[in-house]
Chain A
């Protein structure tokens, strides 16, 4: 089954404690993205990747890092989380720039 998986699905952490949210897709897609969703703001893109070792900033990259060492994986790293990063995070992948995006189930992060 074609899918995008994220882990963990729920995470509560404290300010400053580094964390990683994993994302994996089994469709051999080149393009992957991370979004955050906050009430009233829709989905905002954090980072995207066009292929292995090729990443670039989206609309709200501050406070986040990503890496793309393998085609299937695109982890999101928060080196020093802060409360304003409390949000619902989605990973997505697509085969090319105009193809439909496949979204993961989401990760709800709370930073206290």
Chain B
């Protein structure tokens, strides 16, 4: 089971780019990297998923180096509404077993 390590918290200001890095040293060949966002008292919401290199959608970018032992979620020009907890997850091999264990996440606080 691939374990992930993220910073516990980060602070930023409105309009800045925020990069949250996740370490997953024992990622397996078939594992995908997925990021979720969670607001207080709500269920997590999918942000982005990738396997290697770079993935971009309308919300964020995900950078994955060649060794795949880490990944970086990039949020361009954050706003106050981006204040949330961000989870990095690594998917297990598709053996039919459970996948994607949530860690403690990174609490992002965006200030005006």
Residues of B within 8 A of A45 (CB): 98, 101-102
A74 interface hit (Cβ, 8 Å): no
Inter-chain contact A97/B49, CB cutoff 8 Å = no
Given contacts A90-B43, A105-B43, contact A98 B104 (CB under 8 A): no
Docked pose: A92 CA to B42 CA in angstroms: 12
Residues of A within 8 A of B45 (CB): 103
Inter-chain contact B101/A59, CB cutoff 8 Å = yes
Residues of A within 8 A of B32 (CB): 98
Inter-chain contact A104/B43, CB cutoff 8 Å = yes
Inter-chain contact B103/A106, CB cutoff 8 Å = no
Tell me how many residues of B have a C-beta within 8 Å of chain A.
24
A101 interface hit (Cβ, 8 Å): yes
B70 interface hit (Cβ, 8 Å): no
Q: Is the interface of B mostly helix, strand, loop or mixed?
A: loop
- Kindly supply a per-residue 1/0 record for chain A positions 16-50, scoring 1 wherever the CB is within 8 Å of any chain B CB and 0 otherwise: 00000000000000000101000011111100101
Q: Is the interface of A mostly helix, strand, loop or mixed?
A: strand
* Min CB–CB distance A50 → chain B (angstroms): 6
Residues of A within 8 A of B97 (CB): 56
- Kindly supply a per-residue 1/0 record for chain B positions 9-33, scoring 1 wherever the CB is within 8 Å of any chain A CB and 0 otherwise: 0000000000000000000000010
Docked pose: A16 CA to B103 CA in angstroms: 30
Cross-interface CB contact of B42 among A33, A48, A100, A105, cutoff 8 Å: A105
Residues of A within 8 A of B103 (CB): 42
* Min CB–CB distance B103 → chain A (angstroms): 5
8 contacts across the A-B interface (CB closer than 8 A): A42-B104, A43-B102, A97-B94, A98-B34, A100-B49, A101-B44, A103-B45, A106-B43
